[in-house]
């Protein structure tokens, strides 16, 4: 039995393959999706200095959780940046978490002189929060993860920093000036 494949059959098969490929790869849902907020999982951790910390401050206000490790070079910068943010914004809850024991961090923390709480957590907490790379920082507002940033430093004009300013109600100087101008012209 002979099977004949003509140019027309091959062309039609190729066209159908391409059509199916592009239909399968395109998704109009992506552009129309509304932002989906992830809920911060409930937790209770002990910080390196023995304090108990839970999700409650993150459910009642605004906070940042940074995921770090001692072997990660940019994580040292992340810790100092998070510490600075926490000191500058008293309404911000800050927490750094790692899957390593406090012994790994003793000398690092002494040299960085940071005062933010750091806790050892199970690696499953990293997975529950969708963390795949270090350092990662998540912004939590009223229990919802509203933004995340991977790597350090986080640029001041990033989406993360804009979301943080919005969550804390911080108005930029340029915004104050434009608001003042519009009020005087009315």
Position 177 pLDDT exceeds 60: no
Give pLDDT, residue 184.
46
DSSP string, 133-158: SSSEEEEEETTEEEEEEESSSPPTTS
Residues 6+ apart with CB under 8 A from 135: 66, 67, 68, 72, 74, 75, 78, 150, 151, 152
Q: What is the pTM of this model?
A: 0.74
- Which whole number is the average pLDDT over 14-31? 39
Distance CA 105, CA 69 (A): 9
pLDDT value for 16: 54
Look at strands 118-120 and 92-98 and give their pairing.
parallel
Task: Compute the distance between CA of residue 32 and CA of residue 173 in angstroms, rounded to an integer.
Answer: 33
| Residues of the chain above pLDDT 70, percent | 72
Sorting pLDDT into bands at 50, 70 and 90, what band is 103? confident
Q: Is the pLDDT of residue 51 over 50?
A: yes
pLDDT at 24: 38
Cα–Cα dist 161/148, whole Å: 10
Q: Where residue 106 falls among pLDDT bands split at 50, 70, 90?
A: confident
- Average pLDDT value for residue range 73-95: 95
For the domain made up of 38-168, give the CATH fold: Glutaredoxin (3.40.30)
The helix or strand, by DSSP H or E, that contains position 37, with its residue range, turns out to be none
Non-local CB neighbours of 114 within 8 Å, separated by 6+ positions: 79, 80, 82, 83
pLDDT given for residue 108 in this prediction: 87
Q: pLDDT tens digit string along 122-140?
A: 999 999 999 999 999 999 9
29 pLDDT tier (thresholds 50, 70, 90)? very low
Residue boundaries of the structural domains of the chain: 38-168
pLDDT band at 173 (very low <50, low <70, confident <90, very high): low
């Amino acid at each position: 039995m002979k099977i004949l494949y003509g140019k027309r059959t091959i062309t039609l098969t190729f066209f159908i393959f391409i059509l199916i490929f592009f239909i399968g790869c395109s998704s109009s849902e992506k552009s129309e999706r509304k932002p989906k907020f992830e809920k911060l999982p409930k937790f209770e951790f002990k910080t390196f200095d023995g304090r108990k910390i839970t999700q409650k401050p993150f459910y009642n206000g605004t906070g940042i959780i940074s995921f770090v490790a001692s072997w990660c070079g940019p994580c040292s910068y992340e810790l100092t940046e998070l510490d600075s943010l926490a000191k500058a914004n008293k309404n911000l809850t800050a927490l750094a978490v790692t899957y390593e024991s406090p012994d790994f961090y003793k000398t690092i923390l002494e040299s960085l002189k940071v005062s933010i709480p750091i806790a050892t957590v199970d690696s499953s907490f990293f997975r529950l929060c969708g963390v795949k790379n270090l350092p990662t920082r998540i912004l939590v507002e009223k229990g919802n993860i509203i933004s995340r940033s991977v790597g350090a430093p986080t640029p001041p004009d990033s989406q993360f920093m804009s979301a943080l300013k919005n969550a804390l109600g911080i108005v930029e100087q340029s915004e104050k000036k434009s608001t003042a101008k519009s009020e005087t012209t009315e």
